[in-house]
Amino acid sequence: MSSNKPNRPVLIALIVVVVLVVGAGAYFFGLRSGNTRGGEHTQQAASSKSSASADAQVRQKVTPGTKGLEGPKPLEDGSYNAMIVGPKAPIRSAEDVLNVHRRNPEDPFAIGAVDAPVVISEFSDFECPFCSRWANETEPALIRDYVDQGLVRIEWNDMPVNGPAAEAAAKAGRAAAAQGKFQEFKRAWYEETAQTQGHPNFQMEDYVRIAKKAGVPDLAQFQAQAGDGTFDEVIAQAQQYGASIGINGTPAFVVGEQFISGAQPLSTFVQTIDAELQKVADA
């Protein structure tokens, strides 16, 4: 893990380079994160059109990815690698921004083609109400219009900033991932929290209920791993990794080479994704 942590001068350079300007707003790594531990969340208004806009033309200029659309590759014993954490390779300079995206065919936390033109690395917290908002209001359209078309891959990174309940929920997510059901668990979780005011503060019985809804096959194994120390170290590493690249709140996203802070509207993500697809088309 330590080999993938950029030193401070490199991190500062990375913060300067990875910038997204949307309308009058600018987002920098670690400077305007929508931290849900207290501060007011700022929602950036955007005038971009929806995913049905004329910008859709750029999507026809790139070759969609096809590898791994069926889901993550299981390990030899039939389980899934729920210990995956961190970037694809060390981040040592500003030119290493794309290393944030793992593109690992064994990644049970990802959805979409491994070779999709654009990857969104999501840093989220199951206890975060703004993460729930994004998962319910924005992500479904991105999956329909980009992920299912082979244009985008979304990779989850644990960033449990909301205390012990968030860390416990991250363990439950990894317990579901170990059985190849992370995406289903994530969807079921956020569907349950769609109308929740504040943090859900779910307990083990809630985890098991959600896992059952998600189709996790071995609920006894799920409960054991969600409750013991199996994933303690890897979740701590995930938190350290996010902090090392300047992320201190959730949700946060690296979209290709650009950064978005907070549960911004769909139009913001469409504008950013299409800009990244245009880069690929022009390359």
Distance between start and end Cα atoms, the chain: 32
Domains of the chain: 100-282 (3.40.30.10)
Rg (CA), the chain: 18
**Which of 68-77, 190-199, 224-233 bottoms out in mean pLDDT, i.e. has the lowest?**
190-199
| pLDDT for residue 229 | 97
Enter the pTM of the model.
0.83
- Give the pLDDT mean for 7-27: 34
The model's pLDDT over 135-145, given as tens digits with 9 standing for 90+, comes to 999 999 999 99
* Helix H or strand E encompassing 21: strand 19-22
**Which of 19-33, 58-72, 247-261, 265-279 bottoms out in mean pLDDT, i.e. has the lowest?**
19-33
| pLDDT for residue 22 | 31
DSSP state, residue 56: G
For 151, what's the count of Cα atoms within 13 Å in the CB-facing half-sphere? 24
The model's pLDDT over 64-116, given as tens digits with 9 standing for 90+, comes to 999 989 999 999 999 999 999 999 999 888 789 999 999 999 999 999 999 99
Contact, 215 vs 184, CB < 8 A? Answer: yes
